[in-house]
Amino acid sequence: MGRLAPEKGVRWLLEALAHTPSFIRLHMAGDGPDRLRLVSQAKRLGLHDRVRFHGWVGEPERDRLLLQSRALVVPSTGPETFGLVVLEAFAMGRPVIHTSSGALTEVAGCNTAGVCVASGDTLALARAFSGLAGDYARAQALGLFGRGEIAHRFSVTNHLAALERIYEAAALALA
């Protein structure tokens, strides 16, 4: 869900999908400069019937796709700063498979609300896919943890309190 560009790691994601059981499907929402290359790659890998490119979607369609999914995959190969899409998945009770790139590990966690893999490790990403596809209870537990993160760690009240602490510390440092 987002921009289809090289640093987003979707080419690598398709390579990993080719190493998973054939019942696993991938739905991509978004668009960008890599879309035609990705469609071509999916065909070349024999994944044309397992991958669907939705283009840009609005909030209702995004939520529908998340609710119908087992997990969200964020395969960024470059550092991500925050990743709002992670919180959107958490709000729907969905775990996140992601790379240990940038702030993704801090936001999504490893084996708490998500599964993290090293960027570029195709087989590890395929195992993460297959693992959650074959273990509904684990996927549900990770998703519920993520939903709890939204309610507590990322609530407006807690966010504002954290900002207040930052500003207070900055003011003390300047005094």
CATH number at 84 reads 3.40.50.2000
The answer, yes or no, to whether residue 58 has pLDDT greater than 90, is yes
Report the pLDDT value the prediction gives residue 49, as an integer from 0 to 100.
Answer: 95
Prediction pTM value = 0.86
Which whole number is the average pLDDT over 9-36? 95
The answer, yes or no, to whether residue 150 has pLDDT greater than 80, is yes
Helix, strand, or coil here: 67?
helix
Which whole number is the average pLDDT over 63-75? 94
Degrees to nearest 5, angle at CA 145 with 156 and 86:
60
Amino acid in position 159: H
Task: Note whether 44 and 14 are within 8 A (CB).
Answer: no
Locate 25 and state its tokens.
Answer: 């499907």
Q: List phi, psi (to 5°) of 99.
A: -85, 160
- Compute the chain's Rg from CA coordinates: 17
As to burial, measured by CB atoms within 10 angstroms (0-12 exposed, 13-18 middle, 19+ buried), residue 101 is buried
* Residue ranges making up the domain that contains 22: 2-174
Task: Note whether 16 and 129 are within 8 A (CB).
Answer: yes
* Digit-coded pLDDT (tens) for 70-122: 999 999 988 888 778 899 999 999 999 998 877 887 787 787 888 999 988 99
What's the mean per-residue pLDDT of the chain? 91
Report the pLDDT value the prediction gives residue 136, as an integer from 0 to 100.
Answer: 94
Number of structural domains the chain divides into: 1
